Amino acid sequence: MNEELRKKLGVNENEPNDWFETLYSESNDSGNGVPWANMAPHPIFKEWIDQSSPLENEKTALVVGCGLGDDAIELEAKGFNVTAFDVSESAIALCKKRFPTSKVEFITADLIEGISDWCQKFDLVLEIFTIQALPPKYEQVLIKNIADFVSDNGQLILITEVQSEKRTYENGPPWLLNEDYIKSFEINGLKRISTSTSKETEMGEEIHLSIFGR
């Protein structure tokens, strides 16, 4: 992203959340202007969950940085009791407008601050492209806070773009991760179960689907 576009969106390393509200407040329930809005579950996540075993008991799920809500709705359709949050109040308002009959609990919350009431609360935590949407200096606190959401015997499903270069503020957003993220989640109490490379982007970066357990 060039400096001109960064300024237009209000991307600021020291006010990292503000630009999300800028995007969503200027959008609508068709996702106009939001570059990552699929208006459907993320295809890699959709493929994974369609291949997963049916639930035997009610399970809780949390969607981190839920955006316009499609991944949360997919989890609900699979039988999960779902909580989904985003830092943008406008994004959450659009979720509620798009899915007025859903029982998903859509909440405005800040991943950087963390949510202590959710410590080890969720059987499944889903994170797609959220860490890489925030400046690199927040990486460790973001990883810690995401790991803290995962319950005993729970799982984290993480989808992220991966590069080999060092992460720097000047190169984003997005600020693509490198493979160091795996060790960071392990330091925060999770064990990697598997990592698969789903495809490469047009720029040649890999997209990882990683599964961690506690």
In the chain, the N- to C-terminal Cα span, in Å, equals 36
Alpha-carbon span 122 to 6, nearest angstrom: 35
Any idea how long the chain is? Answer: 214
Q: What is the pLDDT of residues 137-161, one digit of tens each?
A: 999 999 999 999 999 999 999 999 9
> How sure is the predictor about 33, in pLDDT bands with cuts at 50, 70 and 90?
confident
> What pLDDT is attached to residue 198?
73
Share of the chain above pLDDT 70, in %: 95
- What's this model's pTM, rounded to 2 decimal places? 0.93
Q: What is the pLDDT of residues 35-69, one digit of tens each?
A: 888 889 999 999 999 998 877 788 999 999 999 99
> What pLDDT is attached to residue 55?
79
Q: Given the DSSP bridges, would you call strands 59-64 and 80-86 parallel, antiparallel or unpaired?
A: parallel
The residue-averaged pLDDT of 177-202 equals 89
| Domains, the chain | 3-213 (3.40.50.150)
The residue-averaged pLDDT of 7-11 equals 79
Alpha-carbon span 186 to 149, nearest angstrom: 14
Q: Given the DSSP bridges, would you call strands 206-213 and 150-162 parallel, antiparallel or unpaired?
A: antiparallel
Considering only residues 92 and 164, tell me which one the structure prediction assigns the higher pLDDT. 92
200, pLDDT greater than 80 = no
Q: What is the pLDDT of residues 94-108, one digit of tens each?
A: 999 999 999 999 999
